A and B are shown apart, each in its own frame.
Chain A
Amino acid sequence: MSGAAIFAVWAGAVALVAMALAVTRPNVVHALIWVVAGLLSLASGFFALGAGFAGAVQILIYAGAIIAVFVFVVMTIDSGPAAMAAERARLATGWKGPLALVLLVLAPAVLGLAGAGGAGGAPQPVPARDLGVLLFGPWAVAVELASAMLIAALLGARHLARREGGE
């Protein structure tokens, strides 16, 4: 593996650890900070793979915009000591079944992929220009569908979050 590929795999491993910490934190703010750490680490891996556009979008939209929306919503919930203790007590029970399920899915995936493994190989950088040509050429219909979905999500969120009395 080339140096860039080794760095990308290392960054992905860091992201995996950060995400695992994120989903097991009792405090939602701590969970969000770990998610941001995982997303930024993953973005650095994307840069190392030569996917600069994906890395930049990951930082700007995922870690920037989507997590910022989460932080605004977090302001509305209470995360006092009582709520934290309740969350910890709930986390202490009922993790065995999900863990068994996860391992059941992970084992064949890892074994199957390890069997197909080869040596060497280097990531090939893809210029953002090629991506633009693809998105606004052959994939233009998909981009239009994506924009329609975003509009639908925007209107849906607006409708769901409206106040009853103010209509």
Chain B
Amino acid sequence: MTSGFLIAALVLATGLFLVGLFGLLIRRGVLFQIVSLEVMLTGPALAFVAAGAHHGDPGGQGMFVFVLVLAASEVALGLALYLRLSRHADTTDSDTVRELRQ
């Protein structure tokens, strides 16, 4: 039996993921795209926690912890790449980055 709040939470999680995807597609600044990736990751996080609460299972929160670890690693590497890009190539635009191949 699937409860009403789980359905609503899954719809919201899909919405959060798609809002992040939308931001990733409309943005060209690398920093905004990293923020959008963070927004995308909150969707699965909500889905895991809501499913864990629905089943009364600690696994949902366990997977949330791993989503958090993933988000932290992604931010650390993404921001380091961003800083290197802005320092060496003097651009933060992902369309311009494509033309930097030599």
A residues apposed to B, CB below 8 Å? 1-2, 5-6, 8-9, 12-13, 15-16, 19-20, 22-24, 28, 31-32, 35, 38-39, 42, 45-46, 49-51, 53-54, 57-58, 61-62, 65-66, 69-70, 73-74, 76-77, 87, 90-91, 94-95, 97-99, 101-102, 105-106, 109-110, 113-114, 116-126, 130-131, 133-135, 139, 142, 146, 149-150, 152-154, 156-158, 160-161
In the complex, A118 Cα to B29 Cα: how many Å? 42
**Across the interface, which residues of A come within 8 angstroms of B29, CB to CB?**
28, 87
Residue of A nearest to B92 (CB): A77
Greatest chain B CB density within 10 A among A32, A39, A105, A161 is at A161
**Across the interface, which residues of B come within 8 angstroms of A22, CB to CB?**
23, 35, 39
**Across the interface, which residues of A come within 8 angstroms of B26, CB to CB?**
23-24, 91, 94-95, 98
Min Cβ gap B80→A in Å is: 4
**Across the interface, which residues of B come within 8 angstroms of A121, CB to CB?**
1-6, 54
Secondary structure at chain B's binding surface: helix, strand, loop or mixed?
Answer: helix
**Across the interface, which residues of B come within 8 angstroms of A106, CB to CB?**
14-15, 18
Residue of A nearest to B33 (CB): A23
In the complex, A59 Cα to B35 Cα: how many Å? 17
